[in-house]
Each structure stands twice: as structure tokens, then as C-alpha cells.
Amino acid sequence: MRGRTLVAFLAAVAVSLAVLTAASASDFWSGANARLSYSIYKPTATLGYKISSAGFQPCPGGKSKASLYATYGTYKGVLLSKTTGFGIFEGSPAICSDPAESTPHGMRVIGGVKASLGVYCDPPENCSLAQGVKNGYILRWKRGGTRIQMDSAHLTLAQLLTVAKSLQPVG
């Protein structure tokens, strides 16, 4: 009987942690919306990835007080072979971080506006579009007064575009 009680307890803990994780993701976006003075956008399609980290980056000496970041999956940056997922960075009038070097690959339309597309690549190398799955893609665009950047790790371009096109205003 003790074994069944322990299994039931562990199952309840697992469900509670899943609910807490979902609630913390929702709380982050709501809190960020209340904290920041510009419109922010969260993904409604996350490809099954859960939020893994989120926070604010101050802009030292800049006009913006802070920009936000949220990572999903095991994403920790680009060129890391064992991570999968994506990151979202938003700010106004600027995003308070610098993207790594990338090879430009034209524009894509997201929400009716043009977004620049690149593949992360160490200079002076030029990386092909197909190398984006391995190296990571970068998308950058402006929606209203908000600048948005999305990075990926081991996602196809179609997957990243699905997430990007799902961004909805918070609030």
C-alpha cells in the first residue's frame, strides 16, 4: 500500500510542477507587460517547448530602461550542439543585447512587415541557409514601436517562422 501512496504522491508532485511551470510562463509575460512601457508580444505556438528562462536586460546609457528575453526549450544561444529551442528578445526603442555575427539571407514577412533573416556564422565564413538548423537562425523586425529578435537552435526555418508568426500582444 505504501508503494501506491508514494506513486500517487509523486504523480501529484509532477502535475503540480507542470502547472507551476505553465503559470510562471504566463506570470512572466503578464508581469513584463505591467513593467514595460511598450507593447510586448508572446508566442502562442511554442512547438511544445516550455519557457526555460526569462528576464530583463537593462540598456546601460541607452534610452530604453529594459528589454526582455524569454527562452524556450534548452536554448542557451547559438552554435551549442546540444540545445534545441528558441529565444525571443524585445525592446523599445532598442533591444539591449547585441546579436552575434550572421550571414544575411534576405527578408521574410511576419505579421505584414518585413523581417531580416540570417544564419549565425563566424566571420569571414558565409553560411548557407541550410546551415541554419545547425548554427541557428536569427530573425529581426519591428512591430509598432517594439523591436523583436528571435534566435533558434536546431529548428528548421519553417518551425521558427511558425513561432514568429504566432506572436500576439500581451495584455
Give the number of other Cβ atoms within 10 Å of residue 53's Cβ.
12
Distance separating alpha carbons of residues 157 and 104, to the nearest angstrom: 14
Q: Give the per-residue pLDDT at 99.
A: 83
Residue 138 binned pLDDT confidence (cut-offs 50, 70, 90): very high
Instruction: Residue 14: give the domain boundaries.
Output: 2-169
% residues pLDDT > 90 (the chain): 63
Q: What share of the chain is helix, strand, coil (3-state, %, to 5)?
A: 30, 35, 35
Q: Give the per-residue pLDDT at 77.
A: 74
> Tens digit of pLDDT for each residue in 52-67?
999 998 777 665 568 9
Contact 87, 69 (CB under 8 A): yes
Question: Which burial class, exposed, middle or buried, applies to 8 when counting CB atoms under 10 A from its CB (0-12, 13-18, 19+)?
Answer: exposed
Closest CA to 70 of 145, 150, 154, 165: 150
Q: Give the per-residue pLDDT at 65.
A: 64
C-alpha distance from residue 63 to each of 48, 88, 161 (Å): 35, 20, 30
C-alpha cell at 36: 514595460
Q: Give the per-residue pLDDT at 124.
A: 85
Closest CA to 169 of 38, 73, 52, 68: 38
Mean pLDDT of 117-129: 90
> Tens digit of pLDDT for each residue in 93-112?
889 877 889 999 999 999 99
Adjacent-strand bridge partners of 147: 91, 142
Mean pLDDT of 60-89: 82
Mean pLDDT of 17-25: 42
User: Could you give the number of structural domains in the chain?
Assistant: 1
**Helix, strand, or coil here: 33?**
helix
